[in-house]
Amino acid sequence: MSSTKRAGKTHWIIVFAVLAIVGGFIVLLIPNKSAAKTANDFLVALAKDDREKLTDLTYWPDKSREEIRASWDKTMEAAKHYRFAWKMVSEKDATEENTGVVVMVFRNAMSSGTFEEKFEIPLQKQNGEWKVDVRGINREMFPALPR
């Protein structure tokens, strides 16, 4: 038996592989707007003292942007020596408007006696984007959270 190839014919596996690779790149390039990503971005901003990002990610319908920023300025000044670490655990069942993300937090991360504690970060949808409802975060997670 001899095998012959016809010019111009492409095997279906090659086509599938190319489409899968292109699809993978598209998924990577589309910004991830999940609640878990927003919660993680919030924690990164909190750890880095990025007050502008914290202001952007905060849901607080009764306050103006300037008032939210002033609240974060007070919080970050009060907690300037506080260090923590976290790991994402899960996202709770989301509705169209709200959800929660469960995180394990190592409070006082620089201390040798630290241990992980479970906290929830509540999120609300605002103008199609997830925002952290900081008023619903347990104050034990991070000192002097805005209220």
Per-residue pLDDT of 92-125, as tens digits, reads: 887 889 999 999 999 887 777 788 999 999 999 9
Q: How much of the chain, in percent, has pLDDT values that exceed 70?
A: 78
Q: 105 forms bridges with which residues in the sheet?
A: 86, 117
CATH topology of domain 32-136: Nuclear Transport Factor 2; Chain: A, (3.10.450)
Q: What is the pTM of this model?
A: 0.75
- Average pLDDT value for the chain: 84
Cα-trace Rg, the chain: 22
- Taking the domains of the chain in order of start, what are their residue ranges? 32-136
Across 56-83, average pLDDT: 96
Query: Residue 111 and residue 146: Cα distance in Å, rounded?
Result: 25
Q: Which of 96, 80, 83, 86 is nearest to 129 (CA)?
A: 96
